[in-house]
Amino acid sequence: MELVRGLQPSADTDLVATFLDDATFGALAPFFHEDCEILGPSAITGGQSEPRTGLEALRALWLDWLDPWESYRVEIDDVIDAGEHVVTLTRSYGRRAGMDLEVSILAGTVWTVRDGKIARVTFCARQSEALEAVGLLE
């Protein structure tokens, strides 16, 4: 729980700037297994994308997601201990270039921890999907 909680950005952190900055992103490496699996929501299938491997895959997934946003931040609604998994329920806020208003997205992430490091990250398009993935919602 504490590892995952510690990796969460503060509510005012702009993730666009974070994932573009090599030094800031590189500081995450000690907390992830080299072969960690990264899965994101698939716009094509509505399910999960094919797994990607490694921390650079995490960065690539985020950079793809962040591409249309001028700013993007995440607030944590809840962090749930689900055995070998930790679920974060989030509320994300994004603003596109030329817009004054932010859009809001409710989502969830399942973090799998092995040997004190992140072994798998599964981003879910809805909070209910993250809860269902660990058996907390039927």
| 110-135: pLDDT as tens digits | 999 999 999 999 999 899 999 999 99
Cβ atoms within 10 A of the Cβ of 120, count? 19
Structure tokens at 52: 């990607």
> Where exactly are the structural domains of the chain?
2-133
The class level of CATH for 2-133 reads alpha beta
Residue 75 clears pLDDT 90, i.e. is over it: yes
- pTM score above 0.85: yes
Q: How confident is the model at residue 43 (pLDDT cuts 50, 70, 90)?
A: very low
Q: Who contacts 2 (Cβ-Cβ below 8 Å, separation ≥6)?
A: none
* CA pair distance 115, 113, nearest whole angstrom: 7
Q: How confident is the model at residue 48 (pLDDT cuts 50, 70, 90)?
A: low
